[in-house]
Amino acid sequence: MRRKQEVMEISIVAFLIFSACLTIYHGVDAQHHWSYRNYNGPEKWPEMYPSQCTGYYQSPVDIRTDETRCNLQLTTFGFYDPPQGGKFIAHNNAHSIQVDTNGQFFLAYGGLQDRYRISQLHFHWGSSNDKGSEHKINDEAAPMEMHIVSWNVDKYSSMAEAVTKPDGLAVLSILFRVSYYDNPLLEPLVQVIPYIRDPEWNNSVEIPCVAISAFLPRCPEKYYRYHGSLTTPRCYESVTWTVFKEKQTISERQLYYFRSALMAHTTKEFPIPHTPHTIVNPSGEILDLLVDNARPTQPLNGRVIERSFPYLDVV
């Protein structure tokens, strides 16, 4: 009988220890729920992810054009898309409007040593037209930036494996300027934003699939290149960045739809204060608009940004 009681006591202690470990684990996860707002925004990321978001080669950066260096080995990109049966699936991941690719979309050349498989594209935008992009050109932000994210398929077996490797990812960055006219390439996505506006709905909507190369701005052979990181936690320094010199266009009407999207709902741990970028739903819950989802620019720390074209514009 005593032996049985000892076994029961050991089992209870083991269960309590296991439960405590789960509590600690989930507590850490809760603390590491990052966002773009003050309570867990970009200024907090180095504390939340000290081994990743404090690196020496972080992104985004401010591209000072007169400090760039010409590299004529940065050639034109090659795209192998869209594949037969390829799909675009749009959703709100609570940090951005994202379009996942379904199919064999590939990127090559453009100074890249390997082939990269395009997995998704997403956007960063501002609450006004003087901000929104993550990268800046000569300290000037754009109202929106698109990232086309791809991973090294020649060396790694998955995005999860590639994301921590120095040559694991290649991201194409396209800045936008406001136009009087709608951009027809963006319109299919704009039309479904009302259906994916709230990330709590957990909705995904298929939109027409087009060639990824169609999203590039005019003169796609002109771009800037540097090595950096993901611009969201965990900020892995695994990205070969391409920032195109020219801009794509978006209308004010189309920007309005992006600016109507919502972030994740408030929690008791991190209540959302009432600000110009919040709305109140019929039940009285304060909801945060998904705007200004951009990390501030990071120091170059000695990095030299290259450009694919020989001459800078003379103003």
Does 95 participate in catalysis according to the annotation? yes
Q: Which residues contact 104 (CB under 8 A, 6 or more apart)?
A: 80, 81, 83, 86, 117
Q: Which residues pair with 117 in a beta bridge?
A: 106, 151
Out of 95, 122, 135, 147, pick the active-site residue. 95
Task: Give the integer Cα–Cα distance in Å for 263 and 93.
Answer: 8
Work out the end-to-end distance of the chain between its first and last CA atoms, rounded to an integer number of angstroms: 92
Cα 165 to Cα 70, 124, 151, distances in angstroms: 26, 24, 10
Task: Give the integer Cα–Cα distance in Å for 12 and 273.
Answer: 43
- Determine what percent of the chain falls in helix, strand and coil, rounding each to the nearest 5: 20, 30, 50
DSSP codes of every residue in 131-169: ---SSEETTB--SEEEEEEEEETTT-SSHHHHTTSTTSE
Cα 37 to Cα 117, 128, 150, 277, distances in angstroms: 32, 17, 27, 11
Tokens of 81: 């898309």
**Closest of 214, 181, 197 to residue 88, by C-alpha:** 214
Cα 206 to Cα 86, 118, 159, distances in angstroms: 11, 17, 22
Q: One-letter amino acid identity for 160?
A: A
Q: Which residues are catalytic?
A: 95
